[in-house]
Amino acid sequence: MNKNAIEIRGLAKRFAQFQLGPLDLTVPVGCIYGLIGPNGAGKTTTLDLVFGMGRHDSGQITVLGLDHRREEVAMKRQAAYVSPDLNYLAWGKVGRAIQFVRGFYESSWDHAYCDHLLQTMRLDCDDKIATLSFGGRTKLALVLALAWRPKVLILDEPTTGLDAVSRHQLFSELLALIQDEARTILISSHSLTDVERLADHVGMIKEGRMLLEGETSAILEAYRLVDLSARDERCLPQGGGAFVQGRDQQRWRMLLDTRKHGLETLESRGVKILSAAPISLEDLFVTLAQAEP
């Protein structure tokens, strides 16, 4: 079995005013992977390309070891995609949409689980899709994707329009889905609190390029918000992994990647470390998103 559920290598696609990639992305089997980035970074474009919605200019995409183009049918029998752009209005009612989608997954469709999801998401088979709220339509898309228990589940902004109770219920279902460690979830979301709470791996893209990727805990452990003082500014850490947050005379506040700028090394250069505090995923995101290229 392939150790990675999703592998993207050298993915590139050029638009009139945007260049995606070259982009590498690795989602290990059995994890919840959070894909984050500023608006327009290329998150949705990347997910669309995985499912063949548009053609990339170069690169390779595999899902569970299957080429997403050459073995598209086999791939889509094991991977599900939920996007705000999915539209089930043509089927009129929730029950009809379920009947249609179920027809593609008769061997894997879990009827009891589908009923459970409908109850959890507070949906009824007789509900008219046209009268559902945006959040209600998101819930329907989630039911249709989860009910056949795919091995890979890709979610683009899955909590948009959901209230706090529905979000909590969704998280419970997602965590339950990966308990056997054979299923994988990739979530693209602007809710960094949700990503930090759920995802054990994270990747951040900006302007079509991957800025960082890895285990969430390891990434957050590497970065520190540091208060320091130095008489000579030339002693301060420079280059990648060092971001100035503020300055007051000879005192600076910086976000540091301690893998590149060890605190002990700084002290040996005459920099006095006043404090070094852990950061949240949101702290890291805001700093990297605002940093100059």
Report which secondary-structure segment, H or E, holds 289.
helix 281-290
What is the rounded average pLDDT of the residues 144-151?
92
Same domain for 21 and 138? yes
Confidence band for 6, pLDDT divided at 50, 70 and 90: very high
pLDDT at 293 over 80: no
Percentage of the chain lying above the pLDDT 90 cut: 51
**Does a structural domain hold residue 216?**
no
Out of 163, 180, 207, a domain closes at 207
What is the rounded average pLDDT of the residues 188-217?
91
For 68-106, what is each residue's pLDDT tens digit? Answer: 999 999 999 999 998 877 888 889 999 999 999 999 998
Range of the domain at 24: 4-207
Same domain for 39 and 136? yes
**Does a structural domain hold residue 185?**
yes
CATH number, position 182: 3.40.50.300
* pLDDT number for residue 170: 82
For 12-62, what is each residue's pLDDT tens digit? Answer: 999 988 999 899 999 999 999 999 999 889 999 999 999 988 888 899 999
Out of 175, 207, 239, a domain closes at 207
Same domain for 143 and 259? no
* pLDDT number for residue 268: 82
pLDDT at 220 over 60: yes
Same domain for 10 and 98? yes
Same domain for 236 and 158? no
Query: Chain centroid to CA 173: how far?
Result: 17
Percentage of the chain lying above the pLDDT 70 cut: 98
What is the rounded average pLDDT of the residues 145-156?
92
Same domain for 91 and 182? yes
Who contacts 23 (Cβ-Cβ below 8 Å, separation ≥6)?
8, 10, 11, 12, 42, 46, 59, 205, 208, 209, 210
Q: How far apart are CA 191 and CA 208, in angstroms?
A: 20
**Does a structural domain hold residue 187?**
yes
| DSSP conformational letter for 280 | -
How many domains are contained in the chain? 2
| DSSP conformational letter for 128 | B
Higher-pLDDT residue of 200 and 2 is 200
CB-CB neighbours of 159 under 10 Å = 20
